């Protein structure tokens, strides 16, 4: 991608020609109360939603199981996970979730940051083993027109969320987007937004980056988990900030330097239009 100077990883499979997939959706504002005492996946499955982006904040956790980025001990993948780990006595300061489908059943991909007995933590939350300690309010958007579905990805040899059409929708006001490896996240968001006629909007999402350059310095880990904490597109120019988790659970909250933050395995993003569609 022109203008990008990024760190790269060589993945084991053939490089796909298409470097992002973006489908138009309608994003309807949504507020839910999720119950305590059941796994997050079960709690969201019971809502009947097919596709959504959800955010929770300042939620005490009865159980929090998670993964951190790490090298693949088998050498079969360019990046892998460290864990699972468990955070005792945690309060989830920020948790964001993509709700989609896997094998025809509800599935979640969530990244978060928390305070626990051992201090600050963050990473990939395991939805079938993570339980709220008390009912919690989740806010976000239900998505109509497309959804994320887990499919095999030959390039990375992971099973990954990818957007698929779900229904015909009138007057879409958002884009559901996934990014392939080795392209700058900010420039790719700008390109996808432009392709759908969005010059002003907000960006929500999560994923992984390779040794990203941050406004507070560089993160050296070859694989990091990220959660976008603030994302804006103004006159076609995107600016993103994120919670970044490196090897060993190192946490940084900072801006992502445009042109210097290459996608590691995937990024799953919702771009919401802020300007009129015509």
Are 184 and 66 part of one and the same domain? no
Domain with 65 in it: 28-141
Tell me the backbone φ, ψ of residue 134, rounded to 5 degrees. -150, 160
- Residue 278 has a pLDDT of 46
Note whether residue 215 is domain-resident.
yes
C-beta separation of 225 from 208 below 8 A: yes
Question: Considering the chain, what percentage of its residues have pLDDT values greater than 90?
Answer: 90
Are 231 and 163 part of one and the same domain? yes
Are 103 and 175 part of one and the same domain? no
Q: Which of residues 35 and 219 earns the better pLDDT score?
A: 35
pTM: 0.95
Helix, strand, coil percentages in the chain from 3-state DSSP, rounded to 5: 5, 55, 35
Q: Which two tokens stand for residue 98?
A: 């993509």
pLDDT tens-digit series, residues 157-200 = 999 999 999 988 889 999 999 999 999 999 999 999 999 999 99
Are 133 and 179 part of one and the same domain? no
Domain boundary among 109, 126, 141: 141
Q: Which of 161, 158, 203, 169 is nearest to 24 (CA)?
A: 169
Count of structural domains, the chain: 2
Angle, CA of 49, 245 and 268, to the nearest 5° = 35
From 14-28, 69-83, 86-100, the region with the lowest mean pLDDT: 69-83
Q: Which of 265, 261, 224, 217 is nearest to 239 (CA)?
A: 261
CA distance 63 to 68: 16
pLDDT tens-digit series, residues 94-112 = 999 999 999 999 999 999 9
End-to-end CA distance of the chain: 28
Residue 135 per-residue DSSP state = -
Q: What is the CATH number of the domain that holds 161?
A: 3.30.1330.80
> Given pLDDT bands bounded at 50, 70 and 90, which one contains residue 276?
low
C-beta separation of 87 from 116 below 8 A: yes
């Amino acid at each position: 991608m022109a203008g990008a100077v990024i760190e790269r990883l060589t993945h084991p499979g053939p490089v796909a020609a298409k470097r992002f997939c973006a489908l138009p959706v309608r994003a309807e504002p949504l507020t839910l109360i999720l119950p305590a005492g059941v796994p997050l996946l079960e709690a969201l499955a019971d809502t009947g939603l097919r596709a959504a982006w959800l955010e929770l904040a300042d939620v005490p956790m009865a159980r929090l199981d998670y993964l951190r980025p790490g090298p693949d001990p088998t050498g079969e993948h360019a990046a892998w996970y460290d864990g699972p780990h468990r955070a005792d006595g945690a309060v989830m300061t920020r948790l964001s979730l993509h709700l989609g489908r896997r094998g025809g059943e509800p599935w979640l991909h969530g990244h978060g940051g928390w305070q626990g007995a051992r201090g600050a933590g963050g990473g990939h939350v395991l939805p079938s083993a993570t339980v709220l300690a008390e009912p919690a309010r989740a806010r976000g958007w239900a998505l109509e027109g497309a959804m994320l579905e887990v499919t095999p990805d030959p390039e990375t040899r992971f099973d990954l969320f990818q957007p698929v059409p779900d229904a015909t929708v009138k007057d879409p006001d958002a884009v559901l987007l996934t990014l392939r490896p080795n392209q700058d996240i900010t420039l790719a968001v700008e390109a996808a937004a432009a392709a759908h006629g969005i010059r002003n909007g907000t960006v929500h999402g999560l994923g992984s980056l390779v040794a990203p350059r941050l406004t507070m310095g560089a993160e050296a880990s070859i694989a990091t988990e990220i959660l976008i904490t603030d994302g804006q597109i103004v006159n076609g120019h995107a600016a993103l900030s994120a919670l970044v988790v490196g090897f060993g659970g190192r946490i940084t909250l900072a801006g992502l330097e445009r042109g210097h933050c290459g996608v590691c395995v995937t990024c799953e993003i919702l771009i919401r239009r802020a300007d009129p569609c015509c």
